[in-house]
Amino acid sequence: MIEHIGQRTLYLTGRPYLLSHASAVGKKEGEGPLGAYFDFVTEDDRMKQKSWELAESALQKTAIHLAIQKAGLHKGDLDVILAGDLLNQCTGSFLASVDSDTPYLGQYGACSTMAQGLALGGCLVEGGAARRLLAAASSHFCSAERQYRFPLAYGGQRTPTAQWTATAAGAAVLGAHGTGRIRLTHVLFGKMVELGVKDANNMGAAMAPAAYDTISALLSDLGAQPTDFDCIVTGDLGHVGADLLLTLLRTDGIDLSPVYSDCGSLLFGDEQDAHAGGSGCGCSAAVLCGPLLRDMQAGKIRRLVFAGTGAMMSPTSVQQGQPIAGICHAVVIERSDA
Amino acid sequence: MKLDKQSYQRLLEQKSPPSPLPLDCLKAFLFGGAICTVGEAVSNFWQWRGLETTDAAAATSITMVFLGALLTCLHLYEKLAKHAGAGTIVPITGFANSIVSPAMEFKSEGLVLGVGAKLFVIAGPVLAYGISASVIYGLVLMLLGGGGGA
């Protein structure tokens, strides 16, 4: 059953199980500080495919297959796949699941897609619409560049606030029944928040107000302090957005810093030239389905808020002068000892 | 806290590191200057090979465009441009880069709808307004009778 708590938080009383998770990343991501925690690191970002879109779908497919395998399931055991990416018409995702023989729901939440898929998936499982489902998201630096920015070989300069689209994918299987210890307990669907940011090279700043809105609402609904959680992690605000979020919360007397991390800030090392940090649907998906859920399995994290952040924009909307809205969906994941 | 656009704009300006403008300018000057020095050397080479000054200038442009295209194909131009900024965009090598890079990128969509249609996706505005400007300039010159032509 789904219970409403406070203004916007949903409590999933059956606490769906996170049966398995898997991550697949590109070469640069594999060379980063989290490299050892991903299930699959490719040496060839092209994934032996003839286009970058196919390469991204191959990466997402790898994560999906690994997650299904780890859950001890087979193709066809899933009731639905919820998947998304950054490309037009979710190209990376539909290509990855076209031969899955499984009902498919394409998702678009920009870089918040993994959190959106988990939140929606949790509700579908809790409501009985699916017994087992998979949520996945991916992004690829090369396919994103050609759609959103410039050809790869074009000589341009990035600003210090620009983020680096991660070549990465993550997938997680949710189920109504299981024996695992990691479970989804709460869900909060984010509102779009737009504060006039128009710089597509500063998406952390565009997303921080949405993260502030969602995290404030969640803490208030649950009557919780940040330290009631072991870790509160945002999707990919990067260094600039993360700093803004902490500042905004501090004005309300909330100190998030003891438990706070950001997937975009974690993914790349300072020497990797990623400027303000990682971004892209695959960034938070792979960091959650790699290091974070591994730490939960190992008992290092027992209560986690995963707040995926996305920037609602397209090349068309930016060219037409529209501001960039942020969005942030949150899920609470807990590890039980029973 | 209720956020309004003005106060958020002030906050984000505080928190967003600006581009290092003096350093960027210096690097653009040095890299751009180096490319022009290479161009000068190429021009001297052609003149030494016996070309007239005007022919040597055309041959130099052709050579520099070739070098820009070659470095783009080898994925070296973008590595240079990362540091050089405007220093690699402004010289004619940058123009070569802006045409060769989409040609490489959109090959996967085929020769017609990919390479053919996207070839000028970056250089297009420069060509459109550059050619328009020269047409207008030519007309003005003709009307003022300073053209010296027909």
Contacts of B105 in chain A (CB under 8 A): 146, 151-154
Confidence of residue A338 (pLDDT cuts 50, 70, 90): low
Mean pLDDT of chain B: 93
Residue B140, in any domain of the structure: no
What are the φ/ψ torsions at residue B84 (nearest 5 degrees)? -80, -30
B78 → closest Cβ in A153, A159, A240: A153
User: Could you tell me if residue B33 is inside a domain?
Assistant: yes
pLDDT of residue A75: 79
The number of folded domains in chain B is 1
> Does a structural domain hold residue B72?
yes
- Partners of A195 on chain B (C-beta within 8 Å) are 3-5, 8-9
Predicted local distance difference test score (pLDDT) of residue B148? 57
The answer to whether residue B146 is domain-embedded is no
Instruction: Classify A156 as helix, strand or coil.
Output: coil
> pLDDT class for B1, splitting at 50, 70, 90?
confident
Q: Is residue B14 part of a domain?
A: no
* Beta bridge pairs of residue A261: A233
Domain membership of residue B65 as a residue range: 21-119
A142-149 mean pLDDT = 94
pLDDT band for B43, please (50, 70, 90 cuts). very high
Q: Which of A93-102, A264-273, A281-290, B1-10 has the lowest mean pLDDT?
A: B1-10
Tell whether the model's pLDDT for residue A43 goes beyond 50: yes
- Structure token digits, residue B90: 């402004």
> What is the average per-residue pLDDT within A149-173?
94
Mean pLDDT of A165-182: 95
CATH 3.40.47.40 domain position(s) in chain A? 2-175, 184-335
Query: Would you place residue A179 in the very low, low, confident or very high pLDDT band (cuts 50, 70, 90)?
Result: confident
A192 touches chain B (CB under 8 A): no
In a domain, B7, yes or no: no
**Residues on chain A touching B78 (C-beta within 8 angstroms):** 152-156
Assess whether pLDDT exceeds 80 at residue A199: yes
Report the percent of chain A where pLDDT is more than 70. 100
Backbone angles phi, psi at A164, to 5 degrees: -105, 120
Is residue A92 scored above 50 in pLDDT? Answer: yes
CATH number of A2-175: 3.40.47.40
Mean per-residue pLDDT, B74-92: 94
Q: What was the ipTM of the complex prediction?
A: 0.89
pLDDT for res B150? 47
Q: Is the Cβ of B124 closer than 8 Å to some Cβ of chain A?
A: no
CB contact under 8 A, B9 and A195: yes
For A299-337, the pLDDT digits (tens) are: 999 999 999 999 999 999 999 999 999 999 999 999 987
CATH number belonging to the domain at A184-335, selected among 3.60.20.10, 3.30.70.3420, 3.10.180.10, 3.40.47.40: 3.40.47.40
Answer whether A153 sits within 8 Å of B3, measured CB to CB: no
User: Of A50, A193, A247, which is closest to B108 when you measure between CB atoms?
Assistant: A50
Instruction: Tell if the CB–CB gap between B78 and A251 is shorter than 8 Å.
Output: no
Cα–Cα distance between B15 and A109 in angstroms, integer?
25
d(CA B79, CA B74): 10
User: Element (H or E) spanning B89, and its range?
Assistant: helix B86-89
